[in-house]
Amino acid sequence: MVLAENLVLVFLAGLVTAIATGIGAVPFFFVEEFGDRWNVVLWGVASGIMMAASLFGLVDEGLANSAGGFPTLVVAGALAGVALVEIADWILDRVDFSNDNSDSTVDDSDDVDRPLEAKAFAEGDLKTLTLILGILTVHSFPEGVAIGVSFADLGLEGGVAVAGFTVPVLAVFMTIAISIHNVPEGTAIAIPMRAMGMSNWRMVGAAVFSSLPQPIGAVIAFVFVTWAREFLPFGFGFAAGAMIYLVLTEFIPEALKTGRSLPHSGRIELAIGFAAGVMIMTPLAYI
pLDDT of 215 reads: 92
Cβ partners under 8 Å of residue 180, min gap 6:
20, 45, 49, 280, 281
**Domain assignment present for 104:** no
**Domain assignment present for 87:** yes
pLDDT of 157 reads: 63
Helix/strand/coil percentages in the chain, nearest 5: 80, 0, 20
Checking phi first, is residue 149 left (phi over 0); if not, alpha (psi -120 to 50) or beta? alpha
State pLDDT tens for residues 198-208. Answer: 788 888 888 88
pLDDT of 101 reads: 45
Query: Quick check: 19 and 214 in contact, CB under 8 A?
Result: no
Cβ partners under 8 Å of residue 160, min gap 6:
166, 167, 168, 169, 172
**Domain assignment present for 103:** no
**Domain assignment present for 102:** no
**Among the listed residues 64, 68, 53, 51, the one whose alpha carbon sits nearest the alpha carbon of residue 233:** 64
Query: Quick check: 210 and 117 in contact, CB under 8 A?
Result: yes
**Among the listed residues 86, 79, 76, 174, the one whose alpha carbon sits nearest the alpha carbon of residue 135:** 86
Task: Name the band, by pLDDT with cuts 50, 70 and 90, for residue 134.
Answer: low
CA distance 273 to 280: 10
State pLDDT tens for residues 38-69. Answer: 888 888 988 998 899 899 889 988 998 887 77
- What's the domain count of the chain? 1
**Domain assignment present for 22:** yes
In the 8-state DSSP scheme, what is residue 262? S
User: Mean pLDDT throughout 22-35?
Assistant: 83
CA distance 131 to 169: 36
Taking each helix axis as running N to C, give the angle between helix 200-210 and helix 2-23, from 0 to 180 degrees, rounded to the nearest 10: 130
Q: Which residues share a beta bridge with 160? A: 167
| Domain region containing 162 | 2-96+109-285
